[in-house]
Amino acid sequence: MEQQSLEHLDSFRNLARKIKSYHEAIGLLHWDLRTGAPKKGVPTRSETIGMLSTEAFKLQTSVEMKTYLDTLTNPEVLKQLEDTDRRLVEDCKKEYDRSQSVPPEKVQAYTVLTAKSETAWEDAKHNSDFDGFSPYLTEIVKLKQEFIDYWGVKNTRYDTLLDMYEPDLTVEKVDAVFARLKARLVPLQEKINASENKPNTEFLNQLFDTEQQEKFSLFILEQMGYDFDAGRLDESVHPFATGLNPGDVRITTNYLQDDVTSAVFSSLHEGGHALYEQNIDESLAGTLLAEGTSMGIHESQSRLWENMIGRSRPFWTRYYKDLQQHFPQLSEVALEDFYRAINRVESSLIRIEADELTYNLHIIIRYEIEKMLFNEGLEVKDLPETWNAKYKEYLGIVPPNDGLGVLQDVHWSGGDFGYFASYSLGNMYAAQILHTLRKEMPEFDTHIAEGNLIPIKEWLTDKIYRYGKSRTPSELILAVTGEELNPDYLADYLEAKYTEIYKL
């Protein structure tokens, strides 16, 4: 490689590291906003986040970045780069091409708005006050539509947003996958609804001490290999994970006094995200590749740990006695009854508390509403009515208020349109990965039943976690499983599981 290219590569790495440092600082400020920052500090904190985000954006779209990318994306130079450097260059080039036409002042206005909006959403959700939140959301959607014009419309406007979270994902692909999934899951749900062998869940409807919930959540996170020297568990209105760097990956959960399962499964879910980020190879630390390769792959790990491990019979064979020690009111409830209760299938209002089967319907509802917002002209003021109509159509229930309906998720307050499809993609990826994992680790269930979760974490680290963003989602799923995304694995998994539970 010629001398100028080498110099540009070193300078490019330094610039990318500087951008990553900004992202880490911004991530820490966001985490603080959502875990107890004083309300009176929100306006100034939001302005600070906006300013730092704008500086990072300016670096990402700078003349300096363009100069380095022009040199390093030359085909003769690119093929001489190490795999990690080549992936970093390609990733930065895609981001540069997408963002270089966006005015920095628009980025700053948007970032300040979403920082304030997330705090406003917390109050709106608590008070079921959509009208109070609507002005924020209206402005977010307006700016997002402007950004789509700057970025360039793909096949549809909504395709542009999907690509932000799952590279090359399109409405056409999602529609096809969801249709294939619904064709198998809807008949399964009908069989379950008609079954007389429904689990008893009454014993879950009692009060559970929140301090004990926290202790049990910490215990389970430790068991699955979450490194508390590289992270921490806090409480927030909506559980989330923040990966600042592999040595600092923080998670939150939410403790509900009348629902012991909510914190347990949200801790497992966010713990799955955290294991991914904590176990990215050290060689990627400090680079823009030290993060999950896509939200779909990221969600595959949270859903794998939460459901396919955390809701399995072997898992509770090992950990149910520990749960009973924390909550003596469960001491007379048999393991099998508890297992069936936590895997009940029923229409419910809240996405994060939905069963594995109907969860995908919650996602399809949000996906269809987002398509309507960006492709079909749905107005923000009409969201509650549309939301309620979709819930009645797909789940046969109508939210009694907007706090339990259209305001339940944090995502739109942060402008994360296009994100929700990743959850169902994550379910599909997870089932496909699980199929391979079981083949390569025949003792999988035995490990779980013995509380030996570390070999599973190590297998996932070797196959997925360590690569961070250095492999694309399609490259990764193909390398791990030998085939592209296949929704049949999820349908197979759900049919087998619920046929046994409901004795279909």
Q: What does the pLDDT look like over 65-111, one tens digit per residue?
A: 999 999 999 999 998 999 999 999 999 999 999 899 999 999 999 99
273 is in an annotated binding site: yes
Question: Does residue 490 have a pLDDT over 80?
Answer: yes
Choose among 66, 77, 82, 87: nearest CA to 11.
66
Is 298 flagged in the annotation as binding? Answer: no
Nearest to 180, CA basis, from 488, 504, 447: 488
Mean local confidence (pLDDT), 301-329: 97
Helix, strand, or coil (residue 252): strand
Active site residues: 270
Residue 416, pLDDT above cutoff 80: yes
Where on the phi/psi map is residue 168: left (φ > 0), alpha (ψ -120 to 50), or beta?
left
Query: According to the model, what pLDDT value does residue 1 have?
Result: 61
pLDDT band at 386 (very low <50, low <70, confident <90, very high): very high
Look at the block and give the residue holding tokens 């109070």.
132
User: Residue 418: what are its φ and ψ, rounded to 5°?
Assistant: 100, -5
pLDDT digits (tens, 9 = 90+) for 127-140: 999 999 999 999 99
Assign 353 a pLDDT band (cuts: 50, 70, 90). confident
Contact 430/424 with Cβ under 8 angstroms? Answer: no
Q: Model pTM?
A: 0.91
AA letter at 3: Q
Please check if 238 is assigned to a binding site. Answer: no
Residues 6+ apart with CB under 8 A from 355: 343, 344, 345, 346, 348
Query: Kind of pairing, strands 248-253 and 241-245?
Result: antiparallel
Q: In this structure, is the dihedral angle defined by the CA atoms of residues 490, 495, 496 and 501, taken in order, positive or negative?
A: positive
Q: Is 355 helix (H, G, I), strand (E, B) or coil?
A: coil
Q: For residues 5 and 480, which has the higher predicted lDDT (pLDDT)?
A: 480
Q: pLDDT tens across 201-220, in order?
A: 999 999 999 999 999 999 99
Partnered with residue 252 across adjacent β-strands are: 234
DSSP assignment letter at 308: I
Distance CA 489, CA 427 (A): 10
Using pLDDT thresholds of 50, 70 and 90, give the confidence band for residue 298: very high
CA 132 → CA 115, 225, 348, distances in Å? 16, 42, 25
Residue with tokens 């929140």: 210
Q: What are phi and psi of 396, to 5 degrees?
A: 75, 20
